[in-house]
Amino acid sequence: MTTETVIQQATSPETTTASTETTPTSTTTGADHTEHVDLLVIGWGKGGKTLAGTMARAGKKVAVVEQSEMMIGGSCINIACIPTKILVHDAENKRADDDVDEYFAKAVERRDTLTGAMRKKNHSMLADLDSVLLVNGHAEFTGEREVRVTGGADTMTITADTVVVNTGSVANIPPIDGAQLGGRIHDSESLQHVDPFPKRLVIVGGGYIGLEFGSMFAHFGSQVTVLDRGPRPLANEDDDVADVVAQALADDGVTIVNDASVTAVDDGADAATVTYEVGGETKTIDAEAVLLAVGRKPATADLGLEKAGIDTDDRGFIVTDEYLRSSAEGVYAFGDVNGGPMFTYISLDDNRILADQLLGDGKRSTKDRGSVPYTMFLTPPVARVGLTEKAARDEGYEIKVGAKLQADIAAAPRAKIEGDPRGIVKFVVDAKTDLVLGAALVHVHSQEVINTVALAMRHDVTATELRDTIYTHPSATEALNEVLGALK
């Protein structure tokens, strides 16, 4: 494949500022050109880009279509996991005498530099493969396993034996009067480049995104108020775990208003005003910035899914089976767009499932997944895997529970060494089999320890084995020795 067949050749992106898009180098044919490939990937997400490289190295012809050069590499490295965790890290390390505006600007600059370098690396990982066609433009299905890609005045039609939709998700904008992005009203992407830095930040939504940004901006220096519709944060966690997290957020200056129903957002001349109802009263709060954090929806708009016979559910997510097959023959969906857990490592595992079907024995499926961990990067981070105590009891298990506040765990001094002994370690164990059913870890480095617990659960390592294993010292993992020794 040569650049003459490409309406817009995906060029190596700049390694710096992510706030503006660069113009790709364009090679035109003056007419619609048709290309056939073995694999077409729509969207440069984690799973799709990985499968594209695997198939190309196996000698297959591959096309990857991405409509934004600033999204090369996918959401994780550009607007989600990596950039937000850079900001979380820098926020946690801000000193009291640092100028807030200057410090935040430098953190954003570091964010942009790293994400730019990662875009460049992700581009080269596929661009260096001879059988990969990289196309900038918007893809829309025109038939079965056929898309038309438009970019500027030119079009390209791509047909494929196998198609992967890997377009991810976008912020959900709630049906609230005045809730429109722009000015002082942000989603989780635009808030990462907010300017000027907001002295006051109101967050609509107390889910994972809302709480992560609330914790982050509080550490940078904002006065943060979270308006949450639920009766308490972390509705899916046990009360003792949720209470510890709520207290940590309060300690860091985050105010959470529970049972709050937002009715209007007004971006006025001097401030944004949020109107909400709580306890039968109507209240207002002003801020320099408002974050709308009420979940995400699939990025399927204008894809023409119906023209390819691709079914979606009532929320717009592509319906797939355990092998990630859509209702259309030869069309698969990876990552956020299929409605599964919205984690980049799930998209990566989606890639393994389809790679096994295309190049292996076809036995891998989503049913093979067990004990998938996740982390909410608050300060300290909240990591979870498996069942909560309440869920285990509701499912009829006879259980033993071990739970200790991090500050009371003598055998694990790592958190005290690092100056933040807040948190809790909680395990739920099947009393009959001694197998771990679930764990909630809220402490320094919990995002690392949870992987050990999840691996143990997937391989039926007993709680006794975890309790009696030798761990390095001083480490956060040592808490397992003590907490699992206190099951009752």
Known catalytic residues are 473
398 near 432, Cβ under 8 Å?
Answer: yes
Per the annotation, does 208 bind a ligand? yes
CA 288/CA 275 separation, integer angstroms: 15
Per the annotation, does 212 bind a ligand? yes
467 near 480, Cβ under 8 Å?
Answer: yes
Return left, alpha or beta for 126; rule: phi > 0 is left, psi -120 to 50 is alpha, else beta: alpha
Per the annotation, does 61 bind a ligand? no
Per the annotation, does 207 bind a ligand? yes
Per the annotation, does 206 bind a ligand? yes
* Tally of CB atoms within 10 A around 93: 11
Per the annotation, does 295 bind a ligand? yes
Per the annotation, does 211 bind a ligand? yes
193 near 79, Cβ under 8 Å?
Answer: no
CA 72/CA 13 separation, integer angstroms: 8
Per the annotation, does 205 bind a ligand? yes
CA distances from 335 to 65, 249, 317, 345 (A): 16, 30, 10, 9
CA 28/CA 156 separation, integer angstroms: 10
Per the annotation, does 167 bind a ligand? yes
Per the annotation, does 281 bind a ligand? no
Per the annotation, does 291 bind a ligand? no
Q: Tell me whether strands 154-165 and 436-442 are parallel, antiparallel or unpaired.
A: unpaired
Binding-site entries for FAD = 85, 167-169, 336
Binding-site entries = 85, 167-169, 205-212, 295, 336
Binding-site entries for NAD(+) = 205-212, 295
